């Protein structure tokens, strides 16, 4: 179980979480027993401005050490890197870092580049995974070729990332079985990362588990870009493993996420649902929600259908 | 497909929807192509005060006729009756009513009484179903005995009603197959009504469909008591039947439900999630949400666990 609250949730607010919030999230998740806590990206400072983005976008070693100071950390820390937006040389070796896992995010077409990054991070001593985004747009031969290549790398797991919240249970079953066919014989796991555009984030994670997925993403109160993610509080309750503890999760939601939700928006609403139903990127829906027409659903639906015909 | 917005949604506000709202909902649902529109209860005026409850609690014939005046109605109208809270003699025969379907709601222990009501409504010329509530608390032998009896009645369908939003997909599969074993050989269908406490209302409805359920409940924007229901807009999109039309549904949500949501609360939140996870009635969570401690989740979780130990 990997909670990616600080990483995926940060996509809503340019990763501008304040230091206290970051620390409280890590503290609660560590107490809850999740296996990994993803604290953000380690993005290149050449590609992204430190004026525009918050600390969780870069995850400097100093910042991370301060965030966990005095905590008895049982969960491992993870960061994400995007293909093309990472300066590997600027990132310390694993032995000099509190981070243990690096997750490389890419589209199907960039799996070669992702593998190159995986090899570099592996050489630096990190655990690695590859997260294949926009999976509902992937062509099966391309995906199968990529999975066959990934099976030969040092990754722990490759993820199904339903970026558009478009998948239903039967498609989840199909994809988990396809991933498993290539990965399991080589001792690698299938990962699951589902968005909530159709209120299926948690349900699809359960379906992935039923078919053998073993690396599971979630976020506190479902925070994440647009419709958000599978909620950590639901997944933790479902798994019923005695090592997990729900109370610290409820506590941090009560104290940190309810006030935050008044300031930034995430979760199910009609424009994100339309994007999910039409298997489209949520960017148009996010732009709508930021403007004065945020509840003009019929017009947005017509525009989205027109977009579909163009593409 | 049966939309029960006005009936289940009315449980939040004592069915005090204004006349324009009722008419707009019926108009939109009729245009969307849903098979049935449930307009409320036909509750006994001896059991419930007309001062305290709105028109959709009683569904007087005059009120219904006025609500559909001038509409070319393709959807059939439905009302619900609770065992013990219904005055059958006060309800007109089907030939004198715009209502076509009566759904009788009961607990497993009251199936005999439900069958008595079914027979009376059938004699009056109505289509009938039985909706077995709190199914996650039903003992299997009791349920099987009830289903065997229901198979011999004139009902169109018997419903799985997950009142506490506690079920997962494998339990849904089990229940649909159990219902089908008794009902299908007698030409009766399995119905599905799922609540959203664990964000599984829509997902469980899909799982029920996959196993053969054919009477499907939903509500506009998921409105309903506590965490609410499977959303009509999602189910309609999923079914992909060309007879359905999403646009009128989006239009009525935009115009009527967004303003309403500012006045009354429904949908996923932590207290309703806790009730679902613990397979408890949402009444304690509803009481919490109505008071000043509405976001005191940890205390509510501890109280709910204590309640569990008592019961």
Residue B45 Cα, gap to closest chain A Cα (Å): 38
A202 and B198 in contact by Cβ < 8 A?
yes
Nearest to B254 among A204, A210, A298 (CB): A298
Domains of chain B, by residue range, sit at 2-261, 270-310
Given a cut of 50, the residues of chain A with pLDDT beneath it are: none
Q: What are phi and psi of A240, to 5 degrees?
A: 60, 10
User: From the list B251, B273, B298, which residue is nearest A298 (CB)?
Assistant: B251
Instruction: Give the closest residue to B148 by CA, choosing from B139, B138, B160, B158.
Output: B158
pLDDT values of chain B reduced to their tens digit, one per residue, 311 residues: 999 999 999 999 999 999 999 999 999 999 999 999 999 999 999 999 999 999 999 999 999 999 999 999 999 999 999 998 899 999 999 999 999 999 999 999 999 999 999 999 999 999 999 999 999 999 999 999 999 999 999 999 999 999 999 999 999 999 999 999 999 999 999 999 999 999 999 999 999 999 999 999 999 999 999 999 999 999 999 998 999 999 999 999 999 999 999 999 999 999 999 999 999 999 999 999 999 999 999 999 999 999 877 65
A166 touches chain B (CB under 8 A): no
Q: Which residue of A has its CA nearest to B278?
A: A237
Q: What does the pLDDT look like over A22-48, one tens digit per residue?
A: 999 999 999 999 999 999 999 999 999
CB contact under 8 A, A250 and B297: yes
> SS in 3 state form for B8-53?
HHHHCCCCCCCHHHHHHHHHHHHHHCCCEEEEEECCCCCCCCCCCC
Q: Which residues of A touch B222 (CB under 8 A)?
A: 199
Judge: A295–B254 Cβ closer than 8 Å, yes or no.
Answer: yes
DSSP code string of chain B: -EE-HHHHGGGTTTT---HHHHHHHHHHHHHHT-SEEEEEE---TTTS-TTTS-GGGT--HHHHHHHTTT----SEEEEEEETTS--GGGSPPGGG-SEEEEEEEE-GGGHHHHHHHHHHHHHTT-EEEEEE--GGG--HHHHHHHHHHHTTSS-SEEEEEETTS---HHHHHHHHHHHHHHHGGGT-EEEEEEB-TTS-HHHHHHHHHHTT--EEEEBGGG-SSTT-B-BHHHHHHHH--TT--SHHHHHHIIIIIHHHHTTS--S--HHHHHHHHTT--THHHHHHHTSTTTT-HHHHHHHHHHHHHH-
Nearest-CA distance from B17 to chain A in Å?
22
DSSP string covering A234-267: HHHHHH--TT--SHHHHHHIIIIIHHHHTTS--S
Is-contact B78 B2, C-beta < 8 A?
yes
Q: ipTM score of the complex? A: 0.95
Which residue in chain B is spatially nearest to A240 when comparing CA positions? B277
CB pairs under 8 A between A and B: 96
Question: What is the value of pTM for the model shown?
Answer: 0.96
From chain B, the residues in CB contact with A199 under 8 A are: 196, 199, 201-203, 222, 231, 234
Both structure tokens of A26: 């890590």
A210 to B170: CB separation less than 8 angstroms, yes or no: yes
Q: Which residues contact B103 (CB under 8 A, 6 or more apart)?
A: B38, B78, B79, B80, B81, B128, B129, B130, B131, B159
Give me the residue from B234, B246, B270 closest to A233, CB to CB: B270
Q: How far apart are CA B60 and CA A35, in angstroms?
A: 58
For residue A236, give the chain B residue with the closest CA.
Answer: B277
Tell me if chain B has a CB within 8 Å of the CB of A206. Answer: yes
d(CA A306, nearest CA chain B) in Å:
14
Phi and psi at residue B229, in whole multiples of 5°? -125, 180
Please report the pLDDT score of residue B310 as a whole number.
66
CATH says B2-261 is which class? alpha beta
For residue A130, the model assigns a pLDDT of 98
State CA B190 to chain mean position distance: 14
Angle between helices B201-210 and B232-239 (to 10 degrees): 30
Number of H helices, E strands in chain A: 13, 8
């Amino acid at each position: 179980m990997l909670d990616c609250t600080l990483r995926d949730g940060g996509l809503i607010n340019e990763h501008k979480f304040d230091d206290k919030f970051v620390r409280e999230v890590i503290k609660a998740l560590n107490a809850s027993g999740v296996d990994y806590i993803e604290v953000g990206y380690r993005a290149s400072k050449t590609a992204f401005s430190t004026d525009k983005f918050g600390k969780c976008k870069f995850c400097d070693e100093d910042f991370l050490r301060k965030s966990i100071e005095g905590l008895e950390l049982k969960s491992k820390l993870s960061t994400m890197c995007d293909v093309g937006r990472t300066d590997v040389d600027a990132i310390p070796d694993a032995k000099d870092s509190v981070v243990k896992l690096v997750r490389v995010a890419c589209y199907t077409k960039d799996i070669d580049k992702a593998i190159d990054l995986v090899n570099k991070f592996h050489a630096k001593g990190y655990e690695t995974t590859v997260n294949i985004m926009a999976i509902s747009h992937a062509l099966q031969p391309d995906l199968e070729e990529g999975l066959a290549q990934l099976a030969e790398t040092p990754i722990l797991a490759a993820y199904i990332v339903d970026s558009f919240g478009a998948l239903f249970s039967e498609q989840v079953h199909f994809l988990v079985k396809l991933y498993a066919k290539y990965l399991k014989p080589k001792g690698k796991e299938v990962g699951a990362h589902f968005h909530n555009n159709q209120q299926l984030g948690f349900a699809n994670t359960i379906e992935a588990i039923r078919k053998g997925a073993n690396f599971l993403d979630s976020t506190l109160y479902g925070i994440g870009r647009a419709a958000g993610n599978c909620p950590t509080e639901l997944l933790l309750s479902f798994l019923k493993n005695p090592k997990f503890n729900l109370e610290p999760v409820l506590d941090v939601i009560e104290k940190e996420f309810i006030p935050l939700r008044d300031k930034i928006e995430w979760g199910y609403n009609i424009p994100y649902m339309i994007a999910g139903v039409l298997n489209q990127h949520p960017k148009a829906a996010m732009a709508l929600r930021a403007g004065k027409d945020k509840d003009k659903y019929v017009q947005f639906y017509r525009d989205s259908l027109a977009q579909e015909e163009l593409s």
